Amino acid sequence: MLVAMRNTVQTTLTIVLAALLALGMGCRPRPPKDAAPGQRQHVVGVSLGKLTEPRRAALAAEIEAAAKEHGELTLLAIAAAEDAAAQAAQIDALISARADLLIVCPQESQLLTEPVARAMQVGIPVIVVDRPVIGDQYTCFLQADNVKIGRAAGAWLARRLGEKRMIVELKGAVPSLLSAQRHEGFRDALRDPSFRVIDEVDVDGQAAKAQKEMAAILSRFKQIDAVFAHTDAAARGAYDAAVAVGRHEGILFVGIDGLPAEGQAYVAAGILEASFEHPTGGKQAVETAARIFRGEKPPKQIELPARVFTRDNLARGGDAAR
């Protein structure tokens, strides 16, 4: 169970927050009421850099759901509101609260490196999710391979496009390692010169910016066969721009994230042709924590497998991205 206060995020997901004052007092939470008699309890501190966008909220929800399958785990979860310095202080508070293990999704790699190392130095294992810290002072790092995801998206489009090969790429934030990796993989899959990326624009993964940029691109190019966006939100924004000028039916829209309430829903509605999952890692992080408490040693790094969702496979939960 969660030892936390709950607030609603975007009306569909809940976030979990722990009171820092209580944590700073160094008190451990009580075991959950449904814990088995005599079952050894473990306190897992969860530190998330932000919960202001759907993927991070989904990560929190996935951690919470996975923890319910482990009666021996009690969560103390904190969100840092996109403030890396605040997240560093919260990790120190979780250390003071005598958490047995930490799950950390850093807001910023450099500023979170030392707090994570401090936890390790006092004997608290740390599972880092999605964004790395610098160096190797952590127990396990879980991350999807964004080069592979971008390459899988490019290969999927290559198979679908046939003779129609004019493509637009809507990229993420700059500078961004994630965006650069997705771009690298996507372009690697489209090395055949018959595939032509006619425009690429940085839209920071945002729907509104993607819609604006796509409107301008549509005014410049009479033929556009596909749009690859680095997020499903940006793909949706591009689709809306095409709808506004009546050109959406002739374009394949593909995005990344694959969240049930976003990318998968867009595929089901016929807005996107495909959504490539960027797994949150929440379930795997909780399972890794349980393994550590059983005395097992996890790999230093775990690659999170990605899936692709299309209308043909959505009902069965997608297929492995390749």
**pLDDT tens sequence for the chain (322 residues):** 444 433 333 222 233 344 433 434 345 555 555 555 556 899 999 999 999 889 999 999 999 999 999 999 999 999 999 899 999 999 999 999 999 999 999 999 999 999 999 999 999 999 999 999 999 999 999 999 999 999 999 999 999 998 879 999 999 977 788 999 999 999 999 999 999 999 999 999 999 999 999 999 999 999 999 999 999 999 999 999 999 999 999 999 999 999 999 999 999 999 999 999 999 999 999 999 999 999 999 999 999 999 999 999 999 999 999 9
Residue 173: predicted pLDDT:
79
Q: Look up tokens 């451990």; give the residue.
A: 28
Q: What tokens appear for 235 in the block?
A: 């793909």
Residue 10: predicted pLDDT:
28
Distance in angstroms (rounded) separating the CA atoms of residues 188 and 182: 10
- Taking phi over 0 as left and psi of -120 to 50 as alpha, with beta for the rest, 178 belongs to alpha
Q: Look up tokens 């700073």; give the residue.
A: 24
Residue 239: predicted pLDDT:
98
Residue 53: predicted pLDDT:
85
Closest CA to 150 of 271, 255, 236: 255
Q: Specify the CATH superfamily of domain 146-278+311-320.
A: Response regulator (3.40.50.2300)
Q: How do 307-309 and 274-277 pair as beta strands?
A: antiparallel
Residue 5: predicted pLDDT:
31
CATH architecture of structural domain 5-138: 3-Layer(aba) Sandwich (3.40)
Distance in angstroms (rounded) separating the CA atoms of residues 304 and 283: 10
Query: Distance from CA of residue 137 to its chain's centroid?
Result: 22
Report pTM. 0.86
Residue 174: predicted pLDDT:
74
- For the chain, what are the domain ranges? 5-138, 146-278+311-320
Q: What tokens appear for 314 in the block?
A: 């959505």
Strands (E), the chain: 5-9, 13-17, 42-48, 73-79, 101-105, 126-129, 140-144, 166-171, 196-202, 226-229, 252-257, 274-277, 301-304, 307-309, 319-320
Helices (H) and strands (E) in the chain, counts: 10, 15
Residue 29: predicted pLDDT:
55
Distance in angstroms (rounded) separating the CA atoms of residues 95 and 90: 9
Closest CA to 211 of 180, 232, 237: 237
Q: Do domains 5-138 and 146-278+311-320 have the same CATH topology?
A: yes
Residue 8: predicted pLDDT:
32
